Amino acid sequence: MDTIIVTMPREAAQTGPQSDAGGPAGMTPAEALEKAGEILRSGGLVAFPTETVYGLGGNALDKEAARKIYAAKGRPSDNPLIVHIADLGELDELVSEIPPMAERLMEAFWPGPMTLILRKKSIIPDETTGGLDTVAVRMPSDPIAAALIRAAGVPIAAPSANRSGRPSPTRAGHVIEDMRGRIEMILDGGPVGIGLESTIIDCTEESPVILRPGYISREMVAGLLGSVSLDAASTGPMKEGERPRAPGMKYRHYAPKAALTLFEGESGAVAEQIRMRTADGLRAGKRIGILAADETFSNYPEGIVRSIGSRERAETVAHNLFAVLREFDDLDVDVIYSESFSSEGLGQAIMNRLMKAAGYQIVHV
């Protein structure tokens, strides 16, 4: 299949139909949105930017579209999709109940990087929710995402737009790499802002539970609702027989091709360990990637060293993490040694993704 790729400046989605900034496919942003809406309504797939990561969108009410999403990603179909809406008015059609805690969360954090699990209505096909009687709903703040949902006129089911097992895409280039030839259209809105997937909060029980940490941190949710718990799958590996409440959390996501080992401890000791192992690896003829921070980058004279951002500004680390993991894939490194980061606030999401990428291989020094 020929994939239409269109550059979409964010301002164009905001200014609407008058804008005439042209994309390389010879379409204005307004024409591109119209075309994308048409594709979605007729059962096709369109990848688009959100504030968290790029999504791979299909009509959430169309079971054939859901099947196509699973096929394009190479993803098991028991892993449910997030349904994206642009206006609160769309919610009543999709869910049977909106508990007070969900109302407060929506008021505080929508549109934005938060997904709520709610009881679904039967209009949402089983294919979209992997057979569950609940549905994940999110209202993204990215203007291109919002404009696309409105152009389609239907809610959009969208997982991250990566092939299953690869790090989530944070730039259009990542989506093109993984999805070109597999879907009808890609909207290129440049790099995303946050870089890690949305916080998922289950609102179907008595009290809220974070199933996947994200930019909306545990502290932010607790500040609003008083208390919130974390599902075990978001902090450590699953034990025998345990099942995470977000089915997707059981997969070894975000996996770079090379084995990643995380080092935890005092920064001097961590650097010493990583330097030693790097020297050993290089002597054995291996290609070694080192994932460090701005503050500690210069501790590593050997290996392919990348800083993913500043420890003082966790949002820079979140923003670069997946892009650097993909870069190590492209560079064909055999091994990645990574420093650890604080797990306060946004750090909880950063460490969740890093620990998963490492398959929970953590060395305490």
Binding site for ligand TXA (CB under 6 A): 50, 52-53, 55, 79-82, 115, 117, 129, 132, 134-136, 138, 158-160, 197-198, 200, 211-212, 245-249
By beta-carbon proximity to ligand TXA, the closer residue of 277 and 326 is 326
List interacting residues with Mg ion (CB under 5 A): 160
d(CA 146, CA 143): 5
65's contact among Mg ion, ligand TXA, none, with CB below 5 to 8 A by partner kind, is: none
By beta-carbon proximity to Mg ion, the closer residue of 65 and 288 is 65
Torsion of CA 261, 264, 270, 274, to 10 degrees: 0
DSSP for residue 170: -
By beta-carbon proximity to Mg ion, the closer residue of 251 and 297 is 251
333's contact among Mg ion, ligand TXA, none, with CB below 5 to 8 A by partner kind, is: none
By beta-carbon proximity to ligand TXA, the closer residue of 81 and 255 is 81
Which pair of structure tokens corresponds to residue 93? 């059609």
82's contact among ligand TXA, Mg ion, none, with CB below 5 to 8 A by partner kind, is: ligand TXA
CB-closest chain residue to ligand TXA: 248
Closest approach, Cβ 248 to Mg ion, in A, equals: 7
Closest approach, Cβ 353 to Mg ion, in A, equals: 10
Look at residues 4, 50, 249 and name the one whose alpha carbon lies nearest to residue 169: 50
Answer yes or no: are the C-beta atoms of 360 and 237 closer than 8 Å.
Answer: yes
Phi-psi region of 7 (alpha: psi -120 to 50; beta: other; left: phi over 0): beta
129's contact among ligand TXA, Mg ion, none, with CB below 5 to 8 A by partner kind, is: ligand TXA
By beta-carbon proximity to ligand TXA, the closer residue of 156 and 293 is 156
Q: What is the SS3 assignment for 340?
A: coil
281's contact among Mg ion, ligand TXA, none, with CB below 5 to 8 A by partner kind, is: none
DSSP codes, 237-266: PPPTT---SSGGGGS--S--SSEEEEEES-
The dihedral of CA 356, 358, 360, 365: what is its sign? Answer: negative
By beta-carbon proximity to ligand TXA, the closer residue of 196 and 324 is 196
135's contact among ligand TXA, Mg ion, none, with CB below 5 to 8 A by partner kind, is: ligand TXA
50's contact among Mg ion, ligand TXA, none, with CB below 5 to 8 A by partner kind, is: ligand TXA
Closest approach, Cβ 128 to Mg ion, in A, equals: 15
Closest approach, Cβ 164 to Mg ion, in A, equals: 8
By beta-carbon proximity to ligand TXA, the closer residue of 81 and 270 is 81
Residue 67 φ/ψ, nearest 5 degrees? -60, -40
Neighbour tally for 182: CB within 10 Å = 17
Strand-pair category, 229-230 with 259-264: unpaired
DSSP for residue 124: S
Which pair of structure tokens corresponds to residue 246? 């977000």
The alpha carbons of the chain give a radius of gyration, in whole angstroms, of 21
Closest approach, Cβ 168 to ligand TXA, in A, equals: 7
By beta-carbon proximity to Mg ion, the closer residue of 165 and 265 is 165
Closest approach, Cβ 174 to ligand TXA, in A, equals: 13
Longest Cα separation, the chain? 62
Closest approach, Cβ 50 to ligand TXA, in A, equals: 5
Closest approach, Cβ 117 to ligand TXA, in A, equals: 5
Secondary structure element (H or E) that encloses residue 118, with its range:
strand 114-119
Neighbouring C-alpha atoms within 13 Å toward the C-beta of 327: 16
